[in-house]
Amino acid sequence: MSEVAVDVEGRRLVISNLDKVLYPRTGTTKGEVLNYYAQIAPVLLPHLAERCVTRIRWPHGVADKSFFEKNVPHRTPSWVRTVEVPTTGSRGSGSSGVLRFPVVEDLATLTWLANLAALELHVHQWQVGPGDEILAPDRLVIDLDPGEPAGLHECAQVALMVREALAERGLEAVPVTSGSKGLHLYAALPDDTRVDSAGGGSGEEEQSTRIAREVAELLQAAHPRLVTATMTKSRRGGKVFLDWSQNSTSKTTVSPYSLRGRERPTVATPLTWDEVTEASEDPLALDQFGFEEVLARVDQHGDLFVLD
C-alpha cells in the first residue's frame, strides 16, 4: 500500500493509495477526489460547519460495496472535533445510546475523511453549539425525488411550485441538484420560528416537518399526475415525490458540494432559479454536474448556496 505523509494546515496526515480508482467508469482516482475536496473546501466547509457529519464510504470504489458511518472510526486523530449525540436506538448507536459524530471544521479534517473514501458527506438540518449542545434546526429541506420516467425536467417544474408555496409562508427557497436524480430545496428558518429541540425534542422538528408536509400535500392535491407526497415507491412512477421527512432530527441530507457515489463523480450543486426555470421548459437544459464542472461554476459564480 503506497503512502505519503503530507502537512495540511499544520496537521500531519498519511495519505494512501492516491492512484486507486474510485470511479471506474471515468477512471477518477482517490488523488483526484482529494484534489476536488481541497479545491472546493472554501465553499464547502461553511456548510459543514457546526453540523454532525454522517459519511458514506466506498473503500474499494463505487463499483463495490459502500457503508454508512455515523460514529467516528478507530484511530480518529485527536485534533478532529467530535460531538456526542443521544440516540433512541438508531442504526449504529450501540448499547450506550450515544453516537459520536465528527464535525468538519477545517481542510485537515475534510482531507482525512476523503482519504478514508468518505465520498458522500451528509448533515442534519440542526447544528451544535460551542459547548457541543444540540441547537434547534436553522433550515428546512424538501427533497424532490423523481420516479421514472420523470427526471430533472419534472423536478424543475415542481421546484417552481414549491418555491411559490414556501414564499407564501415567508420562506425563500434555494435550489441544489442532488447529484443523484433530483433536486433539493432549502429555506432558512426565521429565528422566531425556531424552538430549542434540546437534543432531539419535537418542537422545531414538528414545525419544519409540518411546513414541508403541508406544502407536499398541497401540491399533491393540486397536481396529482405530477406530484406525490406518498413514500410508497410503487406509487411514484412518472411523478416527483416531495420528501418532507428529511426534516426529522434523526435524518440527514447530502451536503451541497459533496460528491456522490454514483457511476461518475457527480456533485450536489447549487443552482440559480434562472437555471431551474430553463430546465422546467427544456428537458435537456439541466443534468447532474460533475466535479470539474462544479469547480468551474464556483470560479465563475462563487457560492450560490446562500440562505437568507
DSSP state for residue 190 in the 8-state scheme: P
Residues 6 or more apart whose Cβ sits within 8 Å of residue 198: 134
Residues 6 or more apart whose Cβ sits within 8 Å of residue 169: 211, 215
Burial per residue of 44-70, b for 16 or more beta-carbon CB atoms within 10 angstroms, e otherwise: bbebbebbbbbbbbbeebbeeebeebb
d(CA 143, CA 288): 15
DSSP state for residue 155 in the 8-state scheme: H
Query: Is residue 100 classed exposed, middle or buried when 0-12, 13-18 and 19+ CB atoms within 10 A define those classes?
Result: middle
**143 in Cβ contact with 92 (< 8 Å):** no
Q: Which three cell numbers stand for residue 123?
A: 448533515
**92 in Cβ contact with 70 (< 8 Å):** yes
pLDDT of residue 232: 81
Look-up of cell digits 482519504: 115
Q: What is the four-CA torsion angle of 166, 185, 72, 66, rounded to 10 degrees?
A: 140
Q: What is the four-CA torsion angle of 247, 248, 251, 253, rounded to 10 degrees?
A: 0
| Domain at 3-123, CATH from 3.90.920.10, 3.40.50.720, 3.40.980.10, 3.40.720.10 | 3.90.920.10
**222 in Cβ contact with 162 (< 8 Å):** no
Query: In the beta sheet, which residues pair with residue 144?
Result: 183, 242
Total-model pTM: 0.93
CA neighbor of 46 nearest in space, from 110, 140, 3, 142: 110
Phi, psi of 38, rounded to the nearest 5 degrees: -65, -40
**Would you kindly state where each structural domain of the chain is located, as residue ranges?**
3-123, 139-301
Please identify every stretch of the chain with a pLDDT value under 50, giving residue numbers as ranges.
89-95, 196-204
List Cβ<8 Å contacts ≥24 apart for 58-63.
58/22, 58/117, 58/119, 58/261, 59/116, 59/117, 61/20, 61/21, 61/22, 61/23, 61/24, 61/117, 62/22, 62/23, 62/24, 62/119, 62/261, 62/262, 62/263, 63/24
How do residues 213-245 score in pLDDT, each as one tens digit? 999 999 999 999 999 999 887 778 999 999 999
Could you tell me which CATH number the domain at 139-301 has?
3.30.70.3300
- Length in residues, the chain: 308
